[in-house]
Amino acid sequence: MSEHHWSWTSRATFPSHPGAHLPHMQQMLEQLKTLGWDGRDFFGIEVALEESLSNAIRHGNRLDESKRVVVDCKISPQRFWLRVRDEGCGFEPAAVPDCTADENLECPGGRGLALIKAYMSRVEHNKRGNCVTMEKFRSANDATAPLCRPCERAPSPQE
């Protein structure tokens, strides 16, 4: 199999304070738009970026500004690849409770991981649990796919 041709690649390192990831995240999103990503795929990548980067800062490095987050990203018109590594002690992804289980619906944890898994084509964590690699393959006809189904209008009292 031949090596994939990436249109844009980057590596960024930033400290672990809230919002430190936003400039690089914005740069990645702009590159996606430039390469024609939109619709549900773009939205899913945006969610996965926010969740993975903010999780590395908050949960991985515990807002310790002496610790860094390293982000590697590759983008092409058909493929998005991201690796986020923090300096924290890691975690066991399988131990995170299912946020959709009835007993966990009001618990705040696990939603970000669930969203990442839902939107990305592939998600892997390293053995230590301080690095996540994710990939998204562009969907066919994504520009025409609605982000959500339109709600049906409730009947008025006169109907």
Query: Which tens digits make up the pLDDT trace of 63-93?
Result: 999 999 999 999 999 999 999 999 999 999 9
Over residues 20-37, the mean pLDDT reads: 98
The type of residue at 89 is C
d(CA 136, CA 109): 24
Q: Is residue 34 part of a domain?
A: yes
Identify the CA nearest to 96 among candidates 109, 108, 112, 115. Answer: 109
Structure tokens at 64: 């310790």
Kindly tell me if the per-residue pLDDT of 155 is higher than 90. Answer: no
Whether 57 is in a domain gets the answer yes
Residue at 159 is within a domain? no
pLDDT at position 9 is 98
Task: Establish if 156 belongs to a structural domain.
Answer: no
Give percent of the chain above pLDDT 90.
Answer: 74
Q: Is 62 left (phi over 0), alpha (psi -120 to 50) or beta?
A: left
- Note whether residue 149 is domain-resident: no
CATH number for 130: 3.30.565.10
Domain count, the chain: 1
Q: What is the structure's pLDDT at 2?
A: 61
